Amino acid sequence: MSESALRLVWVYPDLLSTYGDRGNVLVVERRARQRGLEVARIDVRSDQPIPTSGDIYLLGGGEDRPQRLAGERLRADPGLGRAVENGAIVLGVCAGYQIMGHEFIDDMGQRTPGLGLLDVWSTRGEGARNVGDILAEPDPRLGLPTLTGFENHQGVTHLGQGVSPLARVTVGGGNGTGDGTEGAWRDTVFGTYLHGPILARNPGVADLLIKLALDVSALPPADNTWYEALRAERIAAVQQPAQ
Amino acid sequence: MPANPEPAGPSATLPPRAKLAVTAGKVAAAVSRTAGRGSGSVIGGKVALRLDPDLLRSLAENLDVVLVSATNGKTTTTRLIAEALKAAGPVVSNALGANMPAGITSALADGSDARFGVIEVDEKYLVGVAKDTAPKAIALLNLSRDQLDRSSETRMLAERWREGLQGSEAVIIANADDPLVTWAASSCRKVVWVAAGQAYREDAWSCPSCGGVMQRPGEDWFCPSCGFRRPQPHWALQGEHVVDPQGQGWLIQLQLPGRANLSNATSSAAVAAVFGVHPQIALQRMQAVQAVAGRYESVQFGGREVRLLLAKNPAGWLETFTLIDQPPAPVVLSVNALSADGTDTSWLWDVDYERLVGHPVFVMGQRKLDLAVRLEVAGVHFQVVETLAQAVAAAPPGRIEAIANYTAFQQLRRDVRG
């Protein structure tokens, strides 16, 4: 493994990879390699320490109990926090997003502290579970096209002053707070409810993570034919949900 | 072979209300069939259960009931057990996979002279059906992620089984290689442990008991935090042999392909033994089983041989990849996302499509574009097609392996029938 490789850390595949979020790891890896980058992928199980020297950290979704266990183990490990202090890029999805906030509700209905990497806190929604395709318009500062994904969560995530919404929902539930926000971000830390997985449905987000990691404003072009075809199909399908 | 016992049968001695309900159900089923709405077994069962909510219990009363549940392999294993038990008496079974209470009721109402009721049960309904039917045996094969947008979380299912089955009088035949199944069965009184293997392990890294990180050296598994560990198996699948509790090996010769079916046959032999059917006889009878509800069936289509394979979730796809012909055998993949399939296609990313590198691959179905992105990232060469006919016309020589998820598989079966 060369010093110059992009270090991609998959946090707790044993606990946080329930909804196909492994795809996020595969897409970043693939798109980085297509740009001629070397990638060192580091899968960190929940009985192993989180390395502090990674460039991009990915946390996926998980069921309620694994989420609690992941939260407990991450709180006991300073690795991810140090990595963020060092400027690492983090993307957390669903359970992983909630864990990055100040607190979330665990499988026993208890308020449980998170990592505080994002100024958000999560509660349990009173209404129906948010399940289905979602569309959202991302924060214009991110320079991204429409986000498409699939959400499946009971949680509601409230945003504090220290973060911005990742996107504004046009179809779906998003953060579930009723204000139309979806996800949250600040600097290099991103949280979202979008599965799909998000990076397979939105390769622009994968490229954004890579650009931030490399501290560059552009990447060589990649062939997006199939991603674009899928995006167009999903966006059209969600806008006419007659089927 | 044991002599046939007196035909007892589920409907021979039914109370009047139950008899009426059975008749009403059959009428409803016949109407449904005439209207071209399928076999009518589910609607028939629904009508009958509405007239007599205790009907399932009444029908099961005079049967030796075997329940079969799992994420994967229920339909095939139900069929294998049914074949094996025919050595000991007539069998009634929901052979077509209608595995919720209405379909089960309907199937049992059809078997008036049976001794055994061999019943496939949807994972979510197992506990309820077990309470209604007082089974003699319950086979628990495996549990893994499946349709998470509409189903329970996998460990919650295991927990529900564990709580619901612990008072059961049934002999539980459980896969000792699956930690979630072991967790579900380990509070039961009578358990026969079967080392039936586990290919897909991604749902089994977290201890179902305490949440510790599971250690899995070789075939063994244990939790270093709480000591929950793999029980000593009574029966085992070793290579292509069933090893019985006496340590004797019996060669499994199936027409059905793949490791998963060797595993299903092993569990089936253990179930058959509960009813006194010798493994040798049980396995001989299982050999007669060909395609089950069209699964694994080879058909002629467009002048080519096409094998139809069903794979509904990551564990199912993994097992399927191990049994297909080697590259450069052409492969057709078809994926839908109707509600019966699960509407979230994220699971495609839990499947190791990288294993298809070297095969010419054709993708179709409602969600062919999701598959296209998945295969592109996996580095697999593929072509997107609209129909099976297009795929077959473009495929290079060799038997075509067509793998599809639930409704896509049904569509393929319709396609090849023309």
Which chain A residues are closer than 8 Å to B365 by Cβ?
none
Is residue B210 marked as binding?
yes
From B52, B177, B325, B344, the catalytic residue: B344
The answer to whether B346 contacts A196, with C-beta atoms less than 8 Å apart, is yes
Give me the residue from B202, B213, B349 closest to A26, CB to CB.
Answer: B349
Residues of B with a Cβ under 8 Å from any A Cβ are: 145, 148-150, 153-156, 202, 205-206, 211, 213, 343-350, 369-370, 372-374, 376-379
State whether residue B329 is helix, strand or coil.
coil
Whether A153 sits among the annotated catalytic residues: the reply is no
Tell me the sheet residues that pair with B295: B292
Look at residue B40 in the predicted model and tell me its pLDDT. 67
How far apart (Å, rounded) are the C-alpha atoms in residues B376 and A6?
21
Tell me the sheet residues that pair with B120: B68
Question: Closest Cα of chain A to B377: distance in Å?
Answer: 6
How far apart (Å, rounded) are the C-alpha atoms in residues A36 and A27?
14
Q: What would the two tokens of residue A236 be?
A: 């059209």
How far apart (Å, rounded) are the C-alpha atoms in residues B69 and A129?
27
Kindly state the average pLDDT of the residues A221-240. Answer: 95
The residue written with tokens 């396609």 in the block is B415
**Nearest alpha-carbon partner for A50 in A18, A23, A77:** A77
How far apart (Å, rounded) are the C-alpha atoms in residues B333 and B361?
7
Inter-residue contact B382 to B312 (CB < 8 Å): no
The answer to whether A200 contacts B377, with C-beta atoms less than 8 Å apart, is yes
Q: What is the CATH number of domain B298-417?
A: 3.90.190.20
Give the sign of the dihedral formed by CA B125, CA B131, CA B137, CA B143.
Answer: positive
What are the tens digits of pLDDT across the range A104-124? 999 899 999 999 999 999 999
**Nearest alpha-carbon partner for A7 in A74, A95, A90:** A90
The answer to whether A46 contacts B153, with C-beta atoms less than 8 Å apart, is no
How far apart (Å, rounded) are the C-alpha atoms in residues B96 and B115?
19
State whether residue A13 is helix, strand or coil.
coil
Q: Exposed (0-12), middle (13-18) or buried (19+): which is B220, by Cβ within 10 Å?
A: exposed
Distances (CA, A) of A179 to A92, A145, A175, A183, B177: 21, 21, 8, 12, 48
Question: Closest Cα of chain A to B204: distance in Å?
Answer: 8
State how beta strands B241-243 and B249-251 pair: antiparallel
**Nearest alpha-carbon partner for B403 in B326, B339, B314, B320:** B320
Closest residue in chain A to residue B351, using alpha carbons only: A20
Q: How many CB pairs under 8 A join A and B?
A: 92
The answer to whether B346 contacts A45, with C-beta atoms less than 8 Å apart, is no
Tell me the sheet residues that pair with A181: A168
The answer to whether A150 contacts B154, with C-beta atoms less than 8 Å apart, is no
Q: Which regions of B100-197 does DSSP assign to beta strands (E)?
A: 116-120, 137-140, 171-175, 190-195
Share of chain A above pLDDT 90, in %: 89
Q: Which regions of B70-115 does DSSP assign to beta strands (E)?
A: 91-93
The answer to whether B156 contacts A63, with C-beta atoms less than 8 Å apart, is yes
Q: What would the two tokens of residue A100 be?
A: 């990055």
Is residue B188 marked as binding?
no
Look at residue B47 in the predicted model and tell me its pLDDT. 74
Inter-residue contact B108 to B59 (CB < 8 Å): yes
Neighbouring C-beta atoms of residue A110, cutoff 10 Å: 10
Per DSSP, helices labelled H in B225-258 are: none
Q: Which residues contact A115 (CB under 8 A, 6 or more apart)?
A: A71, A74, A75, A80, A81, A99, A100, A101
> What CATH class is the domain B16-286?
alpha beta
Q: What are the pLDDT tens digits along chain B (418 aa)?
A: 444 444 456 655 777 777 777 777 777 776 666 665 566 677 777 777 777 778 888 888 889 999 999 999 999 999 999 999 999 999 999 877 788 888 888 888 877 789 999 999 999 999 999 999 999 999 999 999 887 666 667 888 999 999 999 999 999 999 999 999 999 999 999 999 999 999 999 888 999 999 999 999 999 999 999 999 999 999 999 999 999 999 999 999 999 999 999 999 999 999 999 999 999 999 999 999 998 888 899 999 999 999 999 999 999 999 999 999 999 999 999 999 998 898 999 999 999 999 999 999 999 999 999 999 999 999 999 999 999 999 999 999 999 999 999 999 999 999 998 7
Q: How many CA atoms lie within 13 A of B302 on its CB side?
A: 16
Q: What would the two tokens of residue A218 be?
A: 């552009």
Q: Structural domain boundaries of chain B? A: 16-286, 298-417
- What residue ranges define each of the domains in chain A, with the CATH number in brackets? 6-239 (3.40.50.880)
The CA dihedral of A44, A46, A49, A54, to the nearest 10 degrees, is 30
Report residue A240's pLDDT band, with 50, 70 and 90 as the boundaries. confident
Tell me the sheet residues that pair with A124: A155
Question: Closest Cα of chain B to A161: distance in Å?
Answer: 32
Question: Closest Cα of chain A to B122: distance in Å?
Answer: 21
Q: Which residue has the higher pLDDT, B108 or A93?
A: A93
Look at residue B292 in the predicted model and tell me its pLDDT. 84
Tell me the sheet residues that pair with A149: A134
Inter-residue contact B116 to B64 (CB < 8 Å): yes
The answer to whether A226 contacts B369, with C-beta atoms less than 8 Å apart, is yes
Closest residue in chain B to residue A24, using alpha carbons only: B349
How far apart (Å, rounded) are the C-alpha atoms in residues A27 and A40?
14
Closest residue in chain B to residue A195, using alpha carbons only: B346
How far apart (Å, rounded) are the C-alpha atoms in residues B138 and B118?
10
Inter-residue contact B181 to B209 (CB < 8 Å): no
